Amino acid sequence: MTTDNRLIVCPHCGAVNRVRTGREAEAVCGKCRDKVFDDHPLELVGSTFDRHIAKSQVPTLVDFYSPTCGPCLMMGPQFADAAKTLFPQVRLAKIDTSAEQAIAGRYGIRAVPTLILFKNGQEAARQSGAMNARDIAAWVRQYV
């Protein structure tokens, strides 16, 4: 693999795709023929979370949230706006901590919302508390 390519996990079928850097927005999955990257946050669950974090070479910002949390609900649209701003440099995803307690426990999530930025399969940065889209994007850009 040359340095001009990155591995990106397809959000539709889970296939790992080799995508030319700078062409992420147009890339189509070799298996299911759907787009491998778009400007909307993904809703991940256990198996899809692990695959996206471990296999993708695109930084992934994960919002650990609860559907009953007021600040989480307020931040949801802001997170979606940040996805548009950060596309295609960073993939944004969400984990419902009430449904995915094992993942929340693995990462020591004690408060929601909590944002964790993953790079190359490892946690690169963490921030707890609701933020607006501009602040989310500025915070992420410090690390990518």
What are the residue ranges of helices labelled H in the chain?
46-55, 70-86, 101-106, 133-141
Length of the chain: 144
Give the integer Cα–Cα distance in Å for 124 and 94: 17
Active site residues: 69, 72
Rounded CA-CA distance 17/117 in Å is 21
Which residues, 6+ apart, have CB-to-CB distance to 2 below 8 Å?
A: none
